[in-house]
Amino acid sequence: MPKKNKIKQNIHLNLIIIFLFIIFLIKSDFFRKLYLLKQENYTKRMVNQYGYCSKESYGFLVDLKKKYKFDVNPKIINYDVLPPSNWIIYNSSQDFEKRPRIFLNYRKEQSLKFNNLGKNFISEGHVQYTNFLESITFKIKDSKFYINDKIKIYRIINNKKKLIFEKHIDENIGNQKKIYTNFETEVFNSRWERFYLELDNASHNSKINGVILNFKNKYQFSDEDILFSKKDCFYIK
């Protein structure tokens, strides 16, 4: 009997200790803190993977969702060539907004570089969401270089050249002078495609290191339009 009583007492004592321990965990908000710690670690991992205001900009979009209540799924424009970022704040019960208000990795002005291949020039990188070719800049080996020539830019479709822009230039192009074109177009917007540039007089190529096309952004907004921003990521009115 005494042995059985002792066992019962130990069981009761253990139950009391466990009960008190659970009470302590609840009073100290242990479970909520553990949850928040897991969430914080998860957010950090996701930001490391998808960037704050870079790449898919996971961190910026999560902070934006905490700060603002969306009645519709906002339209997101990302200037980097990446898969869409909508999944980060997507709500399946809401429609999509038609007008873009979130801009990730935004560039007010964009440029497309062309490298010299000898016979012609080939584009490096890409531009997106432009609608105006403002000017052309030549990177030349001499400080002064006068040309009277026609510049042609084309793309390759089914192994055939398709001309998309041409301009006659009759002036000095030295000192990286901007040759204004003022040409409205969205044809250069591309995620993967390359473009080719030629001069009618190929002998000029040897004196040109490269060519830069300077574009204006399709989406323009002022400081007064901005509701929330971090670096190159913006949420506008």
Looking at residue 131, which CATH number applies to its domain?
2.60.120
Pick out the chain residues at pLDDT < 50: none
Looking at residue 115, its pLDDT comes to 97
What is the predicted pLDDT for the residue at 41? 74
Query: Is 163:207 a contact under the CB 8 Å cutoff?
Result: no
Distance, in Å, from the CA atom of 4 to the CA atom of 15, rounded to the nearest integer, reads: 17
Strands lying side by side in the sheet with 96-104: 73-78, 96-104, 233-236, 226-230
For 67, the domain range is 51-105
Angle between helices 30-50 and 2-27 (to 10 degrees): 50
Distance CA 72, CA 62 (A): 16
Cα 208 to Cα 186: distance, rounded to the nearest angstrom: 26
pLDDT of amino acid 10: 60
Same domain, yes or no: 156 and 213:
yes
Last residue of a domain, one of 78, 105, 132: 105
pLDDT of residue 157: 86
Residue 15 pLDDT: 63
User: What is the tens place of the pLDDT at every residue in 201-213?
Assistant: 999 999 999 999 9
Residue 174's pLDDT is: 86
Structural domain total, the chain: 2
Is 32 part of a structural domain of the chain? no
pLDDT value of residue 175: 81
Residue 10 lies in a domain: no
Can you state the percent helix, strand and coil of the chain, rounding each to 5? 30, 40, 30
Instruction: Please check whether residue 128 lies inside any domain of the structure.
Output: yes
Same domain, 170 and 153: yes
Dihedral pair phi/psi, residue 176, rounded to 5°: 55, 40
* Residue 5 lies inside a defined structural domain of this protein: no
Q: Select from 37, 70, 105 the last residue of a domain.
A: 105
Residue 226 lies in a domain: no
Question: Which amino acid, 18?
Answer: I
Task: Give me the amino acid identity at 24.
Answer: F
Q: What is the reported pTM?
A: 0.78
Residue 122, beta-bridge partner list:
115, 196
pLDDT at 17: 65
Task: Answer yes or no: do 78 and 147 share one domain.
Answer: no
Residue 232 to residue 237: CA distance in whole angstroms: 16
With a CB cutoff of 8 Å and minimum separation 6, the contacts of 16 are none
Residues 209 and 160 in one domain: yes
User: pLDDT at position 219, please?
Assistant: 96
- pLDDT value at position 22? 66
Give the pLDDT confidence of 166-217 residue by residue, as tens digits: 999 999 998 889 999 999 999 999 988 999 999 999 999 999 999 999 999 9
pLDDT in the model for residue 158: 87
Distance of CA 183 to the CA centre of its chain: 25
Give a yes or no: residue 177 inside a domain: yes
CA 233, CA 231: separation in Å to the nearest integer?
6
pLDDT at 176: 86
Do 184 and 90 share a structural domain? no
Same domain, 97 and 142: no
Distance of CA 149 to the CA centre of its chain: 37
Q: Which of 101, 103, 106 is nearest to 74 (CA)?
A: 101
Question: What are the backbone angles phi and psi of residue 209, rounded to the nearest 5°?
Answer: -80, -35
**Cβ 104 vs Cβ 60: under 8 Å:** yes
In contact, 232 and 53? CB cutoff 8 Å: yes
16 DSSP 8-state letter:
H
Residue 43 within a domain: no
Judgement on whether residues 61 and 147 belong to the same structural domain of the protein? no
Terminal CA-to-CA distance of the chain, rounded, Å? 80
83 & 180 share domain: no
Task: State whether 140 and 207 are in the same domain.
Answer: yes
Question: Is the same domain home to 191 and 179?
Answer: yes
Asked, for residue 44, whether it belongs to a domain, the answer is no
* 197 plus 142 within the same structural domain: yes
Residues 124 and 210 in one domain: yes
